[in-house]
Chains A and B, each alone.
Chain A
């Protein structure tokens, strides 16, 4: 039996909003450590990994491991009925065929309750090793979103070049080319507006902008985003959530100069 109470329905809402355009159905794996999710897009070139630790819930109870197979579009339809500030409670049996969601409004005594039918999803999990990345860039998530959006108007792919001078996002397309340079800088007033570059060696990789734009839908989850790059491995885009994370992995484009 699963019972998890989330203070802010908005967290789950934003998570689902961020990944529903990447994957359609996926399993929410519930265990006593929390709720995890791992899924690939249909082309299998990107992977999303979510972790909501149990301490983010109060209370959190999960007697045995359950995989909740959910169509994210259906879940989104239900979650739209919740306000961001609502208290969300999810409940499921041990062998569930539906998931129960309750939204409690803190202001008034409104309680809404929904059941979503579950589905069996055959999903394999990939083991993602801890990696020491050659470059780790932390920047405001809104900044990253803007860069991706601006450059995607010009081209399908962006090359991210990290060196000791800074990080350069550049692209070239039919109408011309463009680039955005970011230097390391610290905002003393607001730590989240700083740009931090940790570099062990310079890297230069190319990625599909369409996917990056998609990842940026998670920007509302966190004021900062962490980009981790190494040659020959997928890019990691991580949004920290306080009691968990939402990570996106994207395979680099190799041998395709566009």
Chain B
């Protein structure tokens, strides 16, 4: 038996008792990759379904990060368990919980009443935590009910804390590959013919059957990207690539304006001038000096957990070298890219931030990348070209070039201060620092240089471009 899965599902508007929301999972070709992908069709009864409500949902899997073992604990409709450190947040959740619905025996969706005993993680999708309860066959674990102390037989623990999130998707994306295909893009077609010609016409007719308002919605969506003609009461559609690009462009822009903070922070850091790093390394050194010049790794780890923020920032320099692994564990569900962000979680100083227009170009660049997942590659290339036409990328490239030189200069300055820090660690580990070996080499070279006569040094500086080495003419003797 497959393990139950935890879904976050769209909810109907009806009152809690009367709701008979229906969800169906369909297989449709992914607009970009062409692979069959599962989509969720939300088809509430006609009485409450509004014609403009989204009906197709994309299913996203929030995977359990491998290094952190976590599980779901599912219990019947109880007051949620509260993690002591999480009090205010859980209160919010319980409010949302009110919207959650009970429903029985829904064929595909296995949604459960949620509870997270170890929810100490900020990165979970808390905002969307509306969950529904259902389906606890087998795998039952005795669970102390916190309110009355009696074991609850209907609780359930699921080994992997995967979370399936359904988010609305514009059905246009699913139609675009078909609309832009050679066969369809030339002629005006009615919606019916359009869907008939679609390679997945059976799925689409199923959608329309299950959820009649979808037709109206599809038509209205098509209006935004198609030229139309009316013939005998029927509206005929033909794709207009200009309109399509405009629509996508406006979306890219609105995405770029509202990128999540985790991402903007990352972008800002990548584009910031490196002065901050330098300042940090100095501070690091100062702190180390006061602690007697020796810093234990484990100590650092503890420090950062307790004080967070400032300390973490200060320590990031050292930790980057010494405790990447530890950090990995600590940061929980983060993807590697995000770990990086955390390592140098820096309070960006205003003066170091890139100019707004540069930032905007970069944000657009990131936003456009999201689109790549939703449109065929030909449309995507056109979109990227359009974005670049409107917002030329050259200033960003020039800025990055400038940044590179600034960074190089800063890291050189940092190397000097870092050498002290590094050596301390290396001394602890009993190894010979690479830095030291390098310095030794430099010293020797200097010594050798000192023996060189003025004339030899001068001759070394002579421009020898275009001159081959002697070994190119004369072979080595044995």
Contact = CB atoms under 8 A, between A and B. Distances in A.
B464 interface: yes
Interface string B449-478: 001110110011011111111111111110
A44 B469 contact: yes
B470 A249 contact: yes
A124 B474 CA distance: 12
B462 A234 contact: no
A175 interface: no
Contact of B473 (A24, A206, A233, A253): A233
Contacts of A210: 459, 462
Contacts of B474: 47, 126-129, 249
Interface stretch (A15-23, A141-149, A194-202): A15-23
A40 B459 contact: no
A254 B466 contact: yes
A213 B269 CA distance: 55
The 6 closest A-B pairs by CB, nearest first: A256-B466, A21-B455, A126-B474, A253-B466, A251-B467, A127-B477
Contacts of A208: 462-464, 467
A47 B470 contact: yes
Contact of B467 (A129, A233, A252): A252
A142 B467 CA distance: 26
Contact of B469 (A127, A206, A233, A251): A251
Contact of B476 (A21, A23, A124, A255): A124
Contacts of B470: 40, 44-47, 126, 234, 249, 251
A148 B196 CA distance: 89
B256 to A, nearest CB: 49
For chain A, the bracket of interface size reads 35 or more
A41 interface: yes
Interface string B417-459: 0000000000000000000000000000000000111011001
10 contacts: A22-B456, A43-B464, A44-B470, A45-B464, A127-B476, A128-B474, A129-B474, A210-B459, A253-B465, A253-B466
Contacts of A21: 453, 455-456, 459
Interface of B: 451-453, 455-456, 459-460, 462-477
B456 A211 contact: no
B475 A127 contact: yes
A125 B478 CA distance: 8
A72 to B, nearest CB: 8
Contacts of A252: 467
A45 B476 contact: no
A121 to B, nearest CB: 12
A238 to B, nearest CB: 16
Interface in A91-130: 124-129
Nearest to B475: A127
Contacts of B455: 20-21, 214
B220 to A, nearest CB: 68
B474 to A, nearest CB: 4
Interface in A56-112: 71, 73
A252 B470 CA distance: 10
A24 B477 contact: no
A127 B467 CA distance: 19
A41 B462 CA distance: 11
A254 B459 contact: no
B460 to A, nearest CB: 5
A42 interface: yes
A214 B472 CA distance: 22
Contact of A125 (B459, B464, B467, B476): B476
Nearest to A45: B467
Nearest to B466: A256
B476 A73 contact: no
Interface of A: 20-24, 40-47, 71, 73, 124-129, 156, 206, 208, 210-211, 214, 233-234, 249-256
Contacts of A249: 470, 473-474
Given A44-B471, A256-B465, A256-B466, 12 more contacts: A20-B453, A21-B455, A21-B456, A22-B459, A24-B453, A43-B462, A45-B468, A124-B477, A127-B475, A156-B463, A208-B464, A253-B465
Contacts of A124: 476-477
A212 to B, nearest CB: 11
Contacts of B463: 156, 208
A246 B471 CA distance: 20
A253 B467 CA distance: 5
A123 to B, nearest CB: 11
A45 B477 contact: no
A41 B470 CA distance: 10
B472 to A, nearest CB: 8
A16 B476 CA distance: 24
Nearest to B453: A73
A252 B469 CA distance: 10
B471 A126 contact: yes
Given A24-B456, A73-B453, A126 B466 contact: no
A126 B447 CA distance: 28
Given A46-B470, A126-B476, A211-B459, A24 B451 contact: yes
Contacts of B465: 253, 256
A235 to B, nearest CB: 11
Nearest to B465: A256
Contacts of A206: 466
A141 to B, nearest CB: 19
B318 to A, nearest CB: 40
Contacts of A233: 473
Most chain-A CB neighbours within 10 Å: which of B460, B466, B467, B468?
B467
Contact of A23 (B456, B464, B469, B472): B456
Nearest to A233: B473
Given A22-B459, A41-B459, A210-B459, A251 B468 contact: yes
B122 to A, nearest CB: 60
Nearest to A209: B462
Contacts of B467: 43, 45, 208, 250-254
Contacts of A41: 456, 459-460
Nearest to A254: B466
Given A73-B451, A124-B477, A42 B469 contact: no
A210 B462 CA distance: 7
A156 B474 CA distance: 25
B443 to A, nearest CB: 18
Contacts of A255: 466
B350 to A, nearest CB: 48
A249 B472 CA distance: 13
Most chain-B CB neighbours within 10 Å: which of A23, A129, A233, A234?
A234
